[in-house]
Amino acid sequence: MESVILKTLEESIEVKRCFFEDNVDRILAAAKQVATCFASGHKLLIFGNGGSAADAQHIAAEFVNRFTVERRPLPAVALNTDTSVLTSISNDYSFDEVFSKQIRALGVRDDIALGISTSGNSKNVLIAMETGRQMGLYTMGLTGCGGGKLGDNCDLSLAVDSNETPRIQETHITVGHIVCDLVDRILFPELYEK
């Protein structure tokens, strides 16, 4: 059992190391885009299914509450949290539309739509990204498995080069934390000048 623990840790570290070495510029671009979005009075709409839904909520909470420094709340919304909205759309229309209808209701030009899908092929995420693009939102994707369709259908894609869902998710939440940190440093440099 100890070997399983160490093997899992080694795999996680290796996937992250490869991803971050290859994507430093893209991560910095994502952080700058989010900071610009917030600075201009716009919001970040984040969504995904399953573990990706949990990551969406986690990242939104870091922006709305705080990450590591005391600063004003930043406008981020996880679109997978309102069970009444999700179930009414699923019941009356289709689960494929649970995020796209919310993008239409809440999104405005120059907001950011951040879709998270480990496979890159979650239909409801893809439809929401297309809706966001049509409305003039900046679209970002966090994905794995070579990017899937999501990687080809957003303005900025961060694709983890792995087919292992746990390793992809572990990398996604690390990306989320790094982006939060960078956004705070861009928007609130005075809090880091000590």
Tens of pLDDT, residues 105-133? 999 999 999 999 999 999 999 999 999 99
Identify the helix (H) or strand (E) that includes residue 76: strand 76-78
111 in a domain, yes or no?
A: yes
Name 55's Cβ contacts closer than 8 Å, sequence gap at least 6. Answer: 48, 116, 142, 169, 172, 173, 176
118 in a domain, yes or no?
A: yes
The residue behind tokens 């030009």 is 109
125 in a domain, yes or no?
A: yes
192 in a domain, yes or no?
A: no
**171 pLDDT higher than 70:** yes
Confidence of residue 146 (pLDDT cuts 50, 70, 90): confident
167 in a domain, yes or no?
A: yes
Contact 37, 189 (CB under 8 A): no
Distance separating alpha carbons of residues 188 and 158, to the nearest angstrom? 25
For 28-51, how does the pLDDT look when each residue is reduced to its tens digit (9 = 90+)?
A: 999 999 999 999 999 999 999 999
Amino acid in the structure at residue 76 = A
The residue behind tokens 């430093």 is 24
- Say what the pLDDT of residue 194 is: 64
194 in a domain, yes or no?
A: no
Total domains in the chain come to 1
Quick one: CA torsion of 83, 88, 90, 92, rounded to 10 degrees?
180
**134 pLDDT higher than 80:** yes
180 in a domain, yes or no?
A: yes
Q: What is the mean pLDDT of residues 82-101?
A: 98
Q: What is the pTM of this model?
A: 0.96
23 in a domain, yes or no?
A: yes
- Domain of residue 183, residue span: 2-187
Q: What is the mean pLDDT of residues 136-142?
A: 98
CATH number of the domain that residue 29 is part of: 3.40.50.10490
